[in-house]
Structure 1
Amino acid sequence: MWPIYSIALLIAMLILRCATSYYAVIMGPTLLYLAHLVHQEVQDITFTYVALGGGSMLGALVASYVNRNLKQKLNGLFLQAALTLILSGTVVAVPWINQIWQLALIFLVIGINIGYVMVDGQCLVLRTWDPKNARVLMYLLYVMGSLGRFLAPAVAGPFLAMSHENKAETKCSHVNKVASTNVNGTVGTDTGKQFDPAGWSYIIFGIVLFVVGILHIVLGCMKADEKTYEVLSLPDDVVEDKQMEEPLCDVIWILIPLFLYCYCSTGSSLLYQDMIYAVAKCSFLHFSTSEAAWVTAVYSIGLAIGRFSGILFARHVKPIYVVFTIVSGALITMIVMISVAKTWIVITWIVSFFYGFFVGPLVPAAVNWISEVINVSGTYSFIFVLGGAAGTMSLVPSAGALFHLSPFYPVYLMCGVSAFNVICFCLIGIAAKMRKPKKSESEHKLISKEISQDTSDTIQDHPQQEPNGHVHGE
């Protein structure tokens, strides 16, 4: 039975993961709202994802450094609390911004929080629980991320519907032209001073983040993470210490394709999450505001079910088989979307679910797979977020530029990314198979000692005989 502070810590981790995932994808369903808010085109808004990706990289590097060097000196929960409270204040301010640099700053703060939370959570799970339980908890973290992704369109949908009656942002007015502004770039007279109801989709979870930040402060004062580490870690060796961290030169050929894999996995997931609303609404699909929002929700449902399925298979199926299945399934669903969606509109709903189902476990399955090959709970823990942030910074703006040319073009980009991810999976498998793990010095000493002891015992139990049949020493 886990102590109460351990349960509270896990709950706080899960809620924070849900909330940060919510704000990681809220741009998708509110993309046109944000474009109207800061008077920019859609492709200009998507470039703020560079700030989101850069923040994720920074947060991941900080979390990796803290877990590697400062976990005994610095209270990590206090740092998470500070980041969460800052994030809460920035997102609540979203409905009142009117400049794109302010939006970029907000997404930078969101990115830092996301990067830190993802890496810190993975490190805590990998070093505290035994491998089988760690697999389950890893998927559980990503399931909560999927819940946040689902809540983003579900919460934003009703508020976007209310703003649809008075605002132009839901009529695809930002596909080929910029909203009207005054000469000095401030809010024009067409928008007035009225509060847009779509802003509540940011305010509500900003309040949730504030509560979570306070909870982290309380848990930090209790030192819940340190106590959980002591109580729930393995009795003999911590998971992190069971596999020595190898030099970069020995694992670089695994880390490079792994980086590209995370680049494609996170990038393709965010591409669909953030672009399908605008694609469904402004392309030949001609979805209504409510339908487009719920298509995003259907994708998030598939994402959550896919990750929950990973929990069910984590103890019984090897992670490499899980990864092979999901990368193949993601590619097939995108091919179907390109081939059939134009003539059969309902396929968009079907593909949204199954694409989410397949891309959902991409990253957690890779974490479980690679953790069997190399140690990714220390220095190399940032590689997953680093690759994902790079994908966010480059793929989403690229999709925005393609959307400007034709609203359906981002789907072709998703298909290409899914195809490249299959190649990355193959490269990781080849590199992992060719790699020859080196035993640590302590292991060599232990083996030598065992061999010496076995040899001594053998000599004592079986005295050597001379060729003439006499026992040596008689």
Structure 2
Amino acid sequence: MLLGIITLSRTTGGLFISILGPTLLTLANNVGSSVGEVSFVFSGRSFGGLAGGMVTGYIMRHVNNMLSFGLAHFLLAAVMLLTPLVSDLWVLITFTMVGAVGFGFLDAGMQALILQTWGAKSSQGLIAYYHFTFVIGAFFAPLLAEHYLVDEDNQSICPNNRTNIQPLNITKPMVTQPFLNQTDKVRITTSTPNDNNPIMWAYLIISVFMFVVGVLFLVLGCFGIESRVRSSKTEVVETRKEDKLKDVALLFFLVTSYYFFCVAGESIYNSYIYSATVCSELKFSVTAATGMNTMFWVGFAAGRFCGVVIANYFTPFQIITADLFGVTISMVAVCLFGESVAAITWVVTFLYSFFQGTLYPCGVSWTSQFTNMSGNYIFIFTIGQTVGNIILLPIAGQMFDAHPFSVLNLVLICSVANALSFMGMVAERKYSAK
């Protein structure tokens, strides 16, 4: 039962993260901004995720876990409900940041809960499973958005077609068409599901699902489900003392670097591949671009699923080594030939996401072999991924405005840097063992 609710929670996280990708062009249009400007939403989301991750240890020590997890889902539900109604860029960034606090807390909190309940060794497969369930929500988000975007012309709001964007005028309420031509003044205010807001229903459905999951957490908390599971797993609960920070500082720096590039590359790809295929020389339709975005999550799901299976047969080191080789080679291919040959982009999208799928969970398992990460240090993973998204996703947005397909060059750089970071992690552990 506890594992089931953790699965549902991680699914909401996938929806929260993935829905921004296929709706990015629409959100940019709603707030009257370019893609490069609206990309700071990703920075806001990352700041919020970092804040949520850093307070996880404190909250879990002082507040009932089921209650705090339920309230975090209510926060996410409220943000999802309000996001498509926003007509100002900074309000959109603020809302996303607030919602990401809940997401960051849930992300770190669920991993800590698994490590505390099942222990570092026994939880290796469960950590892989936990990250696999993220893909369930991430997979359905673009399909849900596509249902409401299929009749829209996304290419009309690509960078080369948006030459006369003006700030929103929110002092004179006015609802306009979601996609405007170059001579129109963008002026959009809040709307209802009955207005011509193509993404409103998608966000509303996600909001309701998150609310239901929050209610389930509160109900299970009343029945003491967490205590029951813990009492049956006492023989494997994490009992190691935490190392002193000075003894693992270098390791944590390298782990932070690993997640800086690992998650940033993944986020750039899944956030921009929809818009890149629409606005580049590939000129995909909404349906084809949604298919590409979905292909990413299919590959990601396949990688995560394989990770659950092979975690019992291969070490985290072996899996990570294979993954880094796969993502680097695939990104070289798409950067060289992807914009001119659509088939290569389709294949690489699957391969890149497949290998990327196990980099995050295996990094957690690899690090947990050497030090206790289930307590105060659980936020280390969050810091790396958050700082990477804060810095690199807005840069990707600027690159997109200059040349949409060039964002994939940044993903290639992340893949190479990710490999170098892991080499440093391995070298540090060998040196420390002497």
Matched, 1:357 2:354: yes
Change in Cα spacing, 1:330 to 1:214, as seen in structure 2 (3 Å) is same
Matched, 1:177 2:163: yes
- Aligned counterparts of 2:331 and 2:370: Cα–Cα separation in 1: 30
Identity %: 27
CA contact (8 A) 2:114 2:127 kept: yes
Change in Cα spacing, 1:406 to 1:219, as seen in structure 2 (3 Å) is same
Deviation at 1:414, TM superposition (A): 0.5
Contiguous gaps of at least 5 residues in structure 2: 178-187
What is aligned with 1:240?
A: 238
- Aligned counterparts of 2:380 and 2:147: Cα–Cα separation in 1: 37
CA contact (8 A) 1:41 1:178 kept: no
What is aligned with 1:114?
A: 103
Which has the higher mean CA deviation after the structures are superposed, 334-343 or 350-359?
334-343
- Aligned counterparts of 2:99 and 2:86: Cα–Cα separation in 1: 16
Among candidates 374, 391, 394, match of residue 397 of structure 1: 394
Deviations 1:275-313, CA, capped at 9 Å, x for gaps: 001110101111111101110100000001101111111
- Equivalent positions of 1:102-181 (< 5 A) are 102-162=91-151, 164=152, 169-174=154-159, 176-177=162-163, 179=165
- Aligned counterparts of 1:170 and 1:221: Cα–Cα separation in 2: 50
What is aligned with 2:374?
A: 377
Deviations 1:451-471, CA, capped at 9 Å, x for gaps: xxxxxxxxxxxxxxxxxxxxx
Change in Cα spacing, 1:200 to 1:184, as seen in structure 2 (3 Å) is closer
- Equivalent positions of 1:177-326 (< 5 A) are 177=163, 179=165, 183=169, 190-191=176-177, 194-234=195-235, 238-241=236-239, 243-326=240-323
- Structure showing greater radius of gyration is 1
CA contact (8 A) 1:123 1:377 kept: yes
Deviation at 1:106, TM superposition (A): 2.1
- Aligned counterparts of 1:189 and 1:197: Cα–Cα separation in 2: 13
Provide TM-score, normalisation by structure 1.
Answer: 0.84
Among candidates 23, 33, 41, match of residue 16 of structure 2: 23
Matched, 1:62 2:62: no
> For this pair of structures, how many residues does the alignment match?
418
SS of the residue aligned with 2:21?
coil
Deviation at 1:172, TM superposition (A): 3.0
Matched, 1:86 2:80: no
Change in Cα spacing, 1:136 to 1:178, as seen in structure 2 (3 Å) is farther
Provide TM-score, normalisation by structure 2.
Answer: 0.92
Among candidates 409, 416, 426, match of residue 429 of structure 1: 426
Deviation at 1:364, TM superposition (A): 0.2
Counterpart AA for 2:374: S
Deviation at 1:170, TM superposition (A): 4.6
What is aligned with 1:39?
A: 32
CA contact (8 A) 1:43 1:403 kept: yes
Which has the higher mean CA deviation after the structures are superposed, 253-262 or 181-190?
181-190
Deviations 1:201-230, CA, capped at 9 Å, x for gaps: 211111001100111111122222222212
Matched, 1:334 2:331: yes
What is aligned with 2:182?
A: none
Q: Which ranges of 4 or more aligned residues in structure 1 deviate by more than 2 Å?
A: 64-67, 130-133, 168-195
